[in-house]
């Protein structure tokens, strides 16, 4: 068995790409517009997985955008996507500066949760050992669900 991808339906492709690529740091690997089915598929990979994703078509995140408007809910029922990051404080600061709510701040220097524009829970885990606790994260409260 081989893990291929996780598919997430998005209601606004531009907002989703802004979040996953420009804010979170993923890269687009390939895109497919299916006119007959009226949808677009965009496959993303973490930068360190890009070469493998291009070669093996895995591991990737598939964003599915249906051209006809639909309303999606239940993002929390999905669970979450998890990414290992180089500096959890720097990424959380970047996300917060872009208007993303840090639902579970990285108080411990190791783990944080945010949500995508479509409500998908995203877990961020510090690579290696936890960073030393620091403000403002150390005393920041949880916001919403994560």
Is 93 assigned a catalytic role?
no
**Catalytic: which of 28, 54, 123, 133?**
123
Helix (H, G, I), strand (E, B) or coil at 123: strand
> Is residue 5 marked as binding?
no
> Is residue 18 marked as binding?
no
> Is residue 141 marked as binding?
no
Q: Transcribe 29-73 into DSSP letters.
A: EEEEEETTTTEEEEEEE-GGGHHHHHHH--SEEEEEEESS-----
Task: Tell me how far apart the alpha carbons of residues 40 and 7 are, in angstroms, rounded to a whole number.
Answer: 12
Q: Please state, as a whole number, how many other Cβ atoms lie within 10 Å of the Cβ of residue 29.
A: 20
Binding residue positions for Zn(2+):
62, 80, 123
The residues assigned a catalytic role are 123
Write out the binding residues.
62, 80, 123
């Amino acid at each position: 068995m081989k893990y291929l991808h996780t598919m997430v339906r998005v209601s606004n492709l531009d907002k989703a790409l802004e979040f996953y690529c420009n804010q979170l740091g993923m890269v687009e690997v390939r895109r497919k517009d299916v006119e007959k089915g009226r949808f677009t598929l965009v496959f993303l990979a973490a930068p360190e997985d890009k070469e493998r994703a291009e070669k093996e078509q895995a591991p990737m995140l598939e964003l599915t955008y249906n051209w006809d408007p639909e309303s999606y809910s239940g993002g929390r029922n999905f669970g979450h996507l998890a990414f290992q990051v180089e500096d959890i404080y720097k990424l959380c600061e970047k996300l917060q500066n872009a208007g993303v709510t840090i639902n579970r701040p990285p108080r411990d220097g190791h783990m944080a949760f945010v949500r995508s524009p479509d409500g998908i829970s995203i877990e961020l885990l510090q690579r290696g050992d936890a960073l030393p606790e620091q403000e403002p994260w150390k005393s920041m409260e949880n916001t919403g669900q994560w």
